[in-house]
Structure 1
Amino acid sequence: MAGVNVHLDLRNPGTQTIGVAMRWTPKQSLQTLSLPVWTPGSYTVRDPSQHLHSLSVVQGDRVLNVERRSPERWEFSCVSGEPLCIRYRLEARQLTVRTNHLDPDFASLSLPAVVMLVEGERWHEHCLQVSVPDHWSVAVPLALDAIGSLFLAKDFDQLVDAPVHAGSFQPERLSVRGHDHELILIGSPPSGWPARFKHDLEAVCTAVCDLLDSDPPAEQVYQLVIQSLEQGYGGLEHDNASVMQFPWPSLQESGGYRKLLQLVGHEYLHQWNVRRLRPSEFVPYRYDRPVISDGLWFAEGVTSYFDLALPLLAGLSSRLDLLKDLGADLSHVLLNPGYGIQSLADSSREAWVRLYKQTPANAHSQISYYRLGTALAFCLDVHLRQSQHSLAEVLRCLWKRFGVHGRGYRRTDLIDCFTEYSKDLETRLPDWLDGRSALPIEASLQMIGLSLNPVRDKTPSAGWLIRERQGRVWIDRTELHGPAQRGGLVAGDELVALRDWRCSSVQRCSELLQGDSILKVTYSRRGLLKTTELSLDDPGVDRHELAWDPGASQAARALRDQWFAFL
């Protein structure tokens, strides 16, 4: 068969190791192989080649010499026109939506971290075969050959965009606008999934289609994969699938089920926004290096804004629920020091080195383009509604203009489209993207009769972020010019005692902040005990909450009702 044939051997799951074999007929005597350094949708270099070993190449009865040219790139010489086979093994012990995991219960594979790109074969057909234990089934969002043993991909990109799941699960069917999707549930909450779970998933996915005024672009081949875990949260979008992880204890919390529905809606919406409608820098993907784009605010921020409303649009939550969730995101932006340091465009551009590599020490100097993008999307939506338009209209316009045709958009394309609906956004939008603390959040809220009310903390502020480990408390971060920083404390210091009382937990430290405004601190730095005194700040704002503005005008209330429709 022409192209590249890939075989994955998962028959020994207890080893947590994948066996990979790739076969093709080389057209050139010099062959170059590379393993993608990142997974589209997760904008950071992960270097999956660190998990690869036992690489060998055989052509006929000859073992060929392979030379490594870089951490992710190999070369070898061969006889052109004669079939060959490369084999290697991969450790699969990272259970996230963008990495590989294999154990005796199930397999979850992200193929950019599995399959090598053969230079010259990227746009040729690839076939995939997966061998699993006898009692397991295999789910891959690709068409099968006539025999039913090979998954067919038109090229390398389509192959590695197809997540692989295997285990003893039984796929179920979802119907969205008459299109059948496959629902794969891996694991289950202790009390099982809610009785109306499938119905609610269909309602949320249908709400996404209504928002875009479009049938699902994946049509009949779409897979929704939800892994129920004790810990872990995340999602990764694909053209014809989404893979999600959700912590089942959250389902017992207020708003937890709504958060799960929002996650599903977010990833489902990515069929349109991000996968097919995406920044021009990602058309096509470059798998060998980071690709900088300032468009991630639209790809993720706009999607995050709409996911908050999808349960409401599906008839599964209330307007008050939406205000609570949006208020939490706006509060995060306003209380984050990074809002005044990093612009939204820079947050997008610096994703590769900042967002996915956060540390407690640098958290105050950056802000997520998810949250800040949500805030900008809200401001844009309110602004557009003053001229009888909406953000959903702009998204639909961009979808028809770029997404349907697979054309990547540039910043100027976004601005031009927004300007068609509101002329002044030609200058306002660049200012909001490139400025710091630039968004008219409070003014936008007033326009639709809402107010963002501060809720103050109950304890004085020491200006630190602390964590607890094995009965000891450590400083993770100090606030700029806050009490801890003024008192000479730094990240990495261990808190031993406050007010001469031993502090062995975060809760105990919080209790000991009460009292006199001068706080004696005994701490350890690199094993040496020291003391300092902090002058505590008054309790600060813990969070903001959205509420109805009782003094809102009739025009503001009318605009608010239009906004709640979101379409």
Structure 2
Amino acid sequence: MTDHKDVFLRIDLLDPASQTLKIELSWIPEVHMQRWTLPIWTPGSYTVRDPSQHLHSLAFYQQDQQVETTRLSPSRWSAKLPCLDRVRLVYQLEAKQLTVRTSFLDPEFASLCLSAVCMLVDGKRWERHVLELLLPQGWRGFVPLPQDDAFYISQDFDQLVDSPVHAGAFDDRPFIVDGCHHSLLLIGSPPTGWPDTLVEDIEAVCGAAASLMGESPPSGDRYQLVIQMLDSGYGGLEHNDGAVLQFAWPALAEPNGYHQLLQLVGHEYLHQWNVRRLRPREYIPYDHGVAVVSDSLWFAEGITSYFDLALPLLAGRSTRKTFLRDLGKDLSHVLLSPGVQVQSLADSSREAWVRLYKCTTAGADSQISYYKLGAALAFCLDVRLRALGVSLAQVVRDLWQSFGQVGRGYGRCDIQNALAVYSQELADQLPCWLDQKGTLPIKECLDQLGLILHPVLASTPWTGLTLADHPKGVRVTRVRSESPAHHANLVAGDEIVAVRGHRLYSVDQWTLLQSGAEPMAIIYARRGRLEETQVIPAPNRTQEYTVEWNPHAPHEARVLRDRWFEIH
């Protein structure tokens, strides 16, 4: 049952071919000066996206009379009312971006991220919000909110915008995790169809996440998992009571594709504990109008990334060998990235707003992902804790009990205190690993487990160039720092015209012409002028590492390794 104090949100999807949402927001004002804001970012995706760029035709009404509005900023408006009768705010939003953090509408389906759709009215944030969807004939709506007849009811604005909206002529499938009844929504499908064991495998992986945390999922029966199967793309966005995933069917067809999908499912499912409820204090509550900096994103994403490698193993859907392969890939990213010597893990977290989500090809030389480096730190913590007879999972469960369950935000000192319960030395070491570059004892921790890093050498000599086909020829898109191409004075934007006396028309030709370690005479164009240089490729460069069993590991290392594989 609705109440007169409720804020009503109506989203009109009746003309899906227009790819435009028609929005109406209605409420009873309490003061004559009204202000409202469209959030500039989406929790879980830490960068300013300014969805107001897609907004038009805004109008404000009271008693069917239009009231003049003033735009205070790109995402904020105000209006002065003659009285306190109910008001209506109407506007339209282009919905042409199919990502997990934006809004999309076409004649087949709708996928809406409400933080990019609904205005936050000053003074109404903690009032109940009621959502109504106007849908084309034959469509169904799917929203992880309780329903009252045709309305979806949220406790407040935050719960509303944390509830993704999907609609179309499709059905959902039930799945059960630790006695909780969830909903699986599949949008699109691979050309060969979904695996017969999909629901069973998802139940197992999500069940492993609940087992890791030692309790039933906090979302209860409300969890809604959405998987959009596309021709390209990859990603996920967590919510309190669900997650939206995108996966490409060509990637699914790869030998490791289905395993990767299950890891993504596990990653986002685990987020309902870590980051959605066990949350850095800077994000309690969220400030939807500004970019909020935190140095704890490494814990939110890095810890989750470390555990998602193991969830298929815990679920009985993978092997120890596969787990080591995946760990090796993540550790390779850290060990071989030049950015790890430039940006600390704490800075990677703090600079997410301007670096990670706005990464350029050249910027990869000066930054490191807090997902990958955070997972490497999690690995080191876990090994050191294992040697003491406990585990990283236990520390996370402790933090969950002290902070996540009661809605308290945590900071670095709280993580240190949780570690100090088991090891003061490890708690004291954490700031060094976070604030100083290149300090993680990755190889030492592998040695503790009776594991070794095995370098895999590149099959061709290395130049440090990343190239792309361009209408005018072959363009340089990246030059690795301190690489042969760097020392040859090549820069991003140069056009490679000829190599070793042969005209170059495509990247495929470059691959043929660069074979061998002999010096390469290169003619390139820069700002319309032809220049010459010489690149001397570097042979025998390590392109990745694999993690292997050490056949000579002592008995105590093998025992510790077996305990570590249990993850819990």
Smaller-chain TM-score range?
over 0.9
Cα distance in 1 for residues equivalent to 2:100 and 2:346: 26
Aligned counterpart, 2:263: 262
Contact 2:460/2:516 (8 A) holds in 1: no
Structure 1: give runs of 5+ residues left out of the alignment: none
One-letter amino acid of the counterpart of residue 479, structure 2: T
Cα distance in 1 for residues equivalent to 2:440 and 2:517: 39
Contact 2:175/2:203 (8 A) holds in 1: yes
> 1:73-152 to 2 correspondence within 5 Å?
73-145=76-148, 148-152=149-153
Cα distance in 2 for residues equivalent to 1:539 and 1:19: 59
Between 1:467-476 and 1:492-501, the stretch displaced more is: 467-476
Cα distance in 2 for residues equivalent to 1:370 and 1:158: 26
1:102-158 CA-to-partner distances (Å, cap 9, x unmatched) read 01111000001000000000000100001110111100000011xx21100010000
Instruction: Classify the secondary structure of the residue corresponding to 2:402.
Output: helix
Cα distance in 2 for residues equivalent to 1:359 and 1:504: 25
> 1:328-347 to 2 correspondence within 5 Å?
328-347=329-348
Instruction: Classify the secondary structure of the residue corresponding to 1:362.
Output: helix
> 1:439-454 to 2 correspondence within 5 Å?
439-454=440-455
Cα distance in 2 for residues equivalent to 1:306 and 1:377: 9
Instruction: Classify the secondary structure of the residue corresponding to 2:551.
Output: coil
Aligned counterpart, 1:26: 29
Cα distance in 2 for residues equivalent to 1:537 and 1:399: 49
Instruction: Classify the secondary structure of the residue corresponding to 1:374.
Output: helix
Normalised TM-score (structure 1): 0.98
Between 1:420-429 and 1:214-223, the stretch displaced more is: 420-429
> 1:54-69 to 2 correspondence within 5 Å?
54-69=57-72
Cα distance in 1 for residues equivalent to 2:517 and 2:263: 44
One-letter amino acid of the counterpart of residue 114, structure 1: V
Between 1:531-540 and 1:68-77, the stretch displaced more is: 531-540
1:267-310 CA-to-partner distances (Å, cap 9, x unmatched) read 00000000000100000000010000000000000000000000
One-letter amino acid of the counterpart of residue 94, structure 2: E
1:449-495 CA-to-partner distances (Å, cap 9, x unmatched) read 11111101111111212222458321111122221121121001111
Between 1:88-97 and 1:426-435, the stretch displaced more is: 426-435
Aligned counterpart, 2:433: 432
Cα distance in 2 for residues equivalent to 1:517 and 1:220: 64
Normalised TM-score (structure 2): 0.98
Aligned counterpart, 1:181: 182
Cα distance in 1 for residues equivalent to 2:474 and 2:392: 46
> 1:238-249 to 2 correspondence within 5 Å?
238-249=239-250
> 1:188-203 to 2 correspondence within 5 Å?
188-203=189-204
Aligned counterpart, 1:324: 325
Cα distance in 2 for residues equivalent to 1:530 and 1:247: 41
Contact 1:471/1:505 (8 A) holds in 2: no
Aligned counterpart, 2:495: 494
Contact 2:468/2:477 (8 A) holds in 1: yes
Instruction: Give aligned-pair identity as a percent.
Output: 52
> 1:120-519 to 2 correspondence within 5 Å?
120-145=123-148, 148-470=149-471, 472-515=473-516, 517-519=518-520
Cα distance in 2 for residues equivalent to 1:540 and 1:475: 21
Instruction: Classify the secondary structure of the residue corresponding to 1:285.
Output: coil
One-letter amino acid of the counterpart of residue 86, structure 1: L
Q: Are 1:529 and 2:534 matched, yes or no?
A: no
One-letter amino acid of the counterpart of residue 110, structure 1: C
1:339-363 CA-to-partner distances (Å, cap 9, x unmatched) read 1111100000000000000001111
Cα distance in 1 for residues equivalent to 2:536 and 2:208: 52
Cα distance in 2 for residues equivalent to 1:454 and 1:466: 25
Cα distance in 1 for residues equivalent to 2:160 and 2:459: 53
Cα distance in 2 for residues equivalent to 1:177 and 1:62: 54
Cα distance in 2 for residues equivalent to 1:79 and 1:154: 29
Contact 2:517/2:539 (8 A) holds in 1: no
Q: CA deviation at 1:80?
A: 4.0
Contact 2:416/2:427 (8 A) holds in 1: yes
Aligned counterpart, 2:48: 45
Instruction: Classify the secondary structure of the residue corresponding to 1:152.
Output: strand
Cα distance in 1 for residues equivalent to 2:325 and 2:44: 28
One-letter amino acid of the counterpart of residue 79, structure 1: P
Q: CA deviation at 1:426?
A: 2.3
One-letter amino acid of the counterpart of residue 170, structure 1: D
One-letter amino acid of the counterpart of residue 39, structure 1: T
Aligned length: 565
Instruction: Classify the secondary structure of the residue corresponding to 2:421.
Output: helix
One-letter amino acid of the counterpart of residue 132, structure 1: L
One-letter amino acid of the counterpart of residue 481, structure 1: E
- Aligned residues: CA RMSD: 1.0
Instruction: Classify the secondary structure of the residue corresponding to 2:424.
Output: coil
